[in-house]
Structure 1
């Protein structure tokens, strides 16, 4: 498991806010999962997955419920950061990045609709109180930051090495009965990847009131959830895996915070619309002790503050459920409530690559 700073979470109010009485919010980075979606794939054993009438909008797409979740999340951001942002949308103040996945792009657009409703001169159509706000999504297969699908041979090698470790062999042995049942009713399965996908699939169908196959009894939800949790933990299982998988995102946020304290101009609000493994991975490298599968719209807030003396510190929050919008305060052990920016940068330095492209090369291999 990735080495990190042990964190202690304290549940705050539904709209927990940073203390602004003696501090001034300078910048915020918000990393969030997309909204509620349809199933991701169709299965031969599941006739409902092949009936498109059950999945309006398409397989893998955000649902109407998900759109509303993310729109309300945008409204929460507007309320939370009203003192940070201008009333009207200002391009220099906000930077929005998304995974190229359609459900993440759609989620980001819904967030922006809630965050930046047009005001006064921004209204261009009185029948449509919406305005276009740009976002940036790297091409699939080239995303180091959010989708984390850019090729990294060193990560792939470490992933495969850990999959063959005694710990993972023991884990797979413990769940061999689950793999056997799935193999009998679908296709050969020997590790956690497909059970993780099936847990998502069955949970979505259960929400829709769709009857699950009889053979899932005893597997869903408990055993498949346990396997799914391990799948997400494993993405940043070792310090090297955490550095290569989550390092670019951490470096981007912390680097922009440091630059802003030196007077560099830049966005005040950074938004990252991505997937569950991005959120769980960030929680993991920050050292959250109880890593778990996050829900739709889950978000991590990284906020930079300054006090009257000019010192800068970071406050971290976590929202587990966008429907309830309850926000947890997360305190790194070794930092006080107002974690000094330099200390926060030092604490995250172990997962911050100096040169990601070079570090992703296999040892002894030359970069192309």
Structure 2
């Protein structure tokens, strides 16, 4: 009895469908804001000048250092088993943007928008440093609202899609490229996690481009997370999270038009409109390009007209200066011999 039972068991196992491969994390991109820091400058009558800050202007405070430490601990816990227990320079990694005249023109146009004008017409510290008497809770609330509005001014209000292509779309293009490379790799790659250290403006620019911005300034040490997974059907999907509070799990972000677990092809298709194809050309101010072309066209037409006038005057001068000579006269009426 034991032999037939073993045979049946073997046949059953052979005919059973293969076990599905478990879903696995393949690649991570992080964009995080620095921690709390001292002001970059002081207003003229500020009682707390640079000497009041131990590390000087624009440097992390002890609070900021702790915030960065907490973020690191949170990420270490989240990616335990995915990254090495000790630091590996091949598994970890900043991003500049050159001046963009077209984006600056869009900013000037935004200043002329009704929303911006109305807001500015309505609105003409911590670390154990005493605040001036005029800094009331109402003033602080108003300043915070203006700060949040400042991000809307930078990346929204007017021509948000074009601003996204010129700002957050540039970073997103690189993030997409890295994820696509990781998905197309035939063998597991050494680079597992890419981290960009940035400012609140960088975070907001990216989230405005993705249309997931919540309208508030990104907190210190907050972090936008992209995770690329290989699903059990061997396809790839993207999940986004936002870590904005120490001690709590990052909350999920959903790209409009897709599920929170967004298939990679859908993610790429939905974000295509905000990816610049030729950033340097798109940054050119259209009016300047048109003016240059007009000037060149006028110069060419003017040169041709000048040459035609010279040619005409030359012909007329030659005709007028030609000496009188023999001219044929009709012989009608002459007597025949």
Q: Same fold (TM over 0.5)?
A: yes
Q: 1:265-324 CA distances to partner (integer Å, 9 max, x unpaired)?
A: 562201010101111222222222632012110110011001121110000000113x33
Show the counterpart of 1:288: 212
2:147 maps to what in 1?
A: 228
Contact 2:252/2:260, CA 8 A, preserved across alignment? no
**Partner Cα distance (2:118, 2:165) in 1:** 25
Instruction: Please say if 1:341 is aligned against 2:260.
Output: no
Q: Secondary structure at the match of 1:336?
A: coil
Residue 260 of structure 1 contacts residue 266 of structure 1 at CA under 8 Å; is this kept in 2?
no
Q: Is the 8 A contact 1:235 1:242 kept in 2?
A: no
Higher deviation after alignment, 329-338 or 26-35? 329-338
Q: Which structure: larger Rg?
A: 2
Q: Aligned residue pairs: how many?
A: 264
Give the corresponding residue for 1:70: 68
1:44 Cα offset (Å): 2.2
Instruction: Return the match for 1:269 from 174, 190, 193.
Output: 193
Residues 77-134 of structure 1, C-alpha deviation per residue, up to 9 Å, x if partnerless?
222122322334333322x226xxxxxxxxxxxxxxxxxxxxxxxxxxxxxxxxxxxx
> Structure 2 vs 1, CA of residues 330 and 253 (structure 1 numbering), >3 Å: closer, same or farther?
same
In structure 1, what is the equivalent of residue 94 of structure 2?
97
Structure 1 CA distance for aligned equivalents of residues 122 and 228 of structure 2: 44
1:33 is aligned to 33
Cα pair distance change 1:347/1:221, threshold 3 Å: same
CA RMSD of aligned residues (A): 2.1
- 1:284/1:291 contact within 8 Å kept: no
TM-score scaled by length of structure 1: 0.67
Task: Structure 1: state its 5+ residue gaps.
Answer: 1-20, 99-142, 145-149, 180-204
- SS of the residue aligned with 1:272? strand
Of the three residues 110, 113, 116, the one matched with 1:162 is 110
Q: What is the deviation of 1:325?
A: 4.0
Unaligned runs of 5+ in 2: 1-20, 293-337
What is the TM-score normalised by the length of structure 2? 0.73
Aligned-pair CA distance for 1:213: 2.1
